[in-house]
Amino acid sequence: YNESTIAIDGPSGSGKSTIIKLLLRMYDWGEGDIKIDNISLRNMSAKSLRESVGYVEQHVDLFDATIKENILLGVKDEKAISNNDIEAVAHKARIDQFYHRLGERKFETQIGERGVKLSGGERQRVGIARALIKNPDILIFDEATSALDTENEKYIKEAIDEASIGRTSIVVAHRLSTVQDADIIFVMDKGQLVGSGTHETLQTSCKEYQALVAAQG
């Protein structure tokens, strides 16, 4: 795996989420192939794929439990995860920025049904910590900032940058502020790949990307 950040951009309905569903084997494909480390996803077990990929969606599903229990959701051997491990992912996910709201109970804080006691940005950070706790080789952020205000988007962008160190990250977003620093950006339009390159390159070579920039200017 290479340490790189790949962004997928494009208007609503352009096919961004379809690509992610294919990567996660939510459904199969007809032609071509999808590989991780030269191994076709068709030849990978579901267990191997889940261990390799961490996924943070637009609306993180949280449960009426503690922050710790929500972070450890899906971890098979919870006893192997120390408090130091949780502290480390909390820092990377920027949960430590709202410790002051949690009080002495910290990770044992009950967050209510669907995480009602947390803000949208705080819920996203718990979702990032959940993805990080299993130390995946690939992280996928699927519109993880789209429902957030500018301030919270900044915090989540910081968390994405920190979480991406040492692994491959795939960032799906329509906000340029989220994708413009990626190593390569793939631009989708009407189900087709219409451009690829850096933010600077695409501004001069891809009319669809130019339109996205103009719309958010």
Is 147:112 a contact under the CB 8 Å cutoff? Answer: no
Residue entry with tokens 């429902």: 147
Give dist(CA 185, CA 210) in Å, integer: 13
Pairing of strands 138-142, 168-172: parallel
> Which of 80, 98, 82, 87 is closest to 152 using CA atoms?
98
For 170-197, give the DSSP string. Answer: EEE-S-HHHHTTSSEEEEEETTEEEEEE
Is 167:136 a contact under the CB 8 Å cutoff? Answer: yes
Residue-level pLDDT at 189:
94
CA 153 vs. chain centroid, Å, equals 13
The whole-number mean pLDDT for each consecutive block of 10 residues of the chain, a chain of 217 residues, reads 84 89 88 90 87 87 91 84 90 86 82 86 90 91 81 83 90 86 94 95 95 86
Residue-level pLDDT at 2:
66
